[in-house]
Amino acid sequence: MQPMTIQEIAAATGGVLQAPSQGAAPVCAVCTDSRKLTPGCLFVPWRGEKFDGHDFIDAALSAGAAGCLCARLPAVLQPDKFYIQVEDTRLALRALASAYRDKFSIPFIQITGSVGKTTTKEMLAAALGAKLRVLKTPENYNNDIGTPLTLLGLGPEHQVAVIETGMNHFGEIRYLGEMVRPDIAVISNIGDAHIEHLGSRQGILEAKCEIFENLREGGVVILNGDDPLLDTVDPPFRTIRCGQSAHCGARVTEIADHGVEGISCTVVTERDTYHLTIPAPGEHMVYSASMAVAVGELLGLSREEIVRGVAQYEPSGSRMRVIRLPDERVILDDCYNASPQSVTAALEILAKTECERKVAVLGDMGELGALAAQAHYNMGALAAMLGIDLIVAIGEKAVKVADGASQSGGTALHFETKEEALRTLIGQLDPGTAMLVKASHAMHFGWIVEQLRSAYET
């Protein structure tokens, strides 16, 4: 973050400066967690369902924060600190990030979608990174806290910003877009994730399309050209569709699946032809790669730079991370999150993996509402039909996964908790076995992956 004076911060947030410390130095960082402070930062207390960060203002200032935004002033003000009083710290942080974003004239790319947002963000950052210095959303900082903090991380060295934005209710993409104000808007796809809150896929489409509302004049839209719902969208901007369909402006052909080693494909545009090597498994990767081609062309990268950048892609976190263990054991760690679409893609990767035996460990999928029971059943049935040797279902909702697998001719086990399942899972990871681990983030299946690694790593 470039330095901002306390007067600039007060003006950006519409706040009132209370008890300013004399000669306060400009602020070069913003923190929302009093446990993770940067000395001299601006502390922004957050109100959650079960906590109020205002209760930690004194501790944050004593730990090194230079001052704070606050909707509620502490009873006693520390004389060497500054306080900027605002009506709502959440809205003030958005206003601060928006004002700071205005200091930069670089291209801003905003990404949303039901599945694959982070993959698309990482792919675009990798491709663009072959030529440009990229700011990208770190980890899963894609909400109303993470997005402004990401924007406040911009520095003079950055030449492009790739910002991932998530949502589970109407209005959230609009709220985040008011900060980002992108030059390029990307929608990866429309699936069932968060349908519990949005009612239908049509509702999900409408919520995702809020991204167009803050697209800057002359902006460009990048869409998945094989998504039937996105094909109904006709935004009032130049639009490039990416995928295998004939109408796609970045058209994917000649897909070759190399199992867990990744895939290769050709992407054809009006400008050029790109022979891509993608070092991550799953044919769904062609969508983020073709979007990277489209964005790379818009930003002036050469064919060689785009091809090299795509080849440098690395999965983020537990997103189809391939873990190789002794005696040809393989874990497909895809437990960051789960929806029917992403579980389907993961099962297809497992089914195509060359190994002696295949095991799918599937947990609960969240926020599916009335679709939950049928969706879990369908995932179990699909695993059985794909020839997965054993399906281990874990969780209250996942009992339907076991039902679907068993009733479709598969072999299935069900456990209520991951702790109950662990001994069985360790025993099932025999030499030559590939084991997929997949569930919604709330299930914390990363613990399973680490326990399996510990049991077999030498």
- Asked if 204 and 198 count as a contact pair (C-beta separation under 8 A), the reply is yes
Report domain extents, the chain: 6-86, 104-311, 321-456
Tell which CATH architecture fits domain 6-86: 3-Layer(aba) Sandwich (3.40)
What does the alpha-carbon distance between residue 258 and residue 223 come to, in Å, rounded to a whole number?
26
pTM: 0.85
Q: Which fold has domain 321-456?
A: Protein-Tyrosine Phosphatase; Chain A (3.90.190)
User: pLDDT tens string for the chain (458 positions)?
Assistant: 999 999 999 999 999 998 766 667 899 999 999 888 999 999 999 988 888 999 999 999 999 999 999 999 999 999 889 999 999 999 999 999 999 999 999 999 999 998 889 999 999 999 999 999 999 999 889 999 999 999 999 999 999 999 999 988 899 999 999 999 999 999 999 877 667 676 788 888 999 999 999 999 999 999 999 999 999 999 999 999 999 999 999 999 999 999 888 999 999 999 999 999 999 998 999 999 999 999 999 999 999 999 999 999 988 878 889 999 999 999 999 998 899 989 999 999 999 999 999 999 999 999 898 899 999 999 999 999 999 999 999 999 999 999 999 999 999 999 999 999 999 999 999 999 999 999 999 999 999 999 999 999 86
pLDDT the model gives residue 140: 81
Helix spans in 29-101 (H): 57-62, 89-101
Q: Which fold has domain 104-311?
A: UDP-N-acetylmuramoyl-L-alanine:D-glutamate ligase (3.40.1190)
Residue 441: burial class (beta carbons within 10 Å; 0-12, 13-18, 19+): middle
Sign, CA torsion 305/308/313/314: negative
Q: Which residues neighbour 392 within 8 Å (Cβ) at sequence distance 6 or greater?
A: 359, 360, 361, 362, 412, 413, 414, 415, 421, 424, 425, 428
Of 209, 154, 185, residue with least CA distance to 2: 154
Sign, CA torsion 437/443/449/452: negative
Sign, CA torsion 211/217/223/227: positive
What does the alpha-carbon distance between residue 290 and residue 262 come to, in Å, rounded to a whole number?
15
What does the alpha-carbon distance between residue 445 and residue 427 come to, in Å, rounded to a whole number?
17
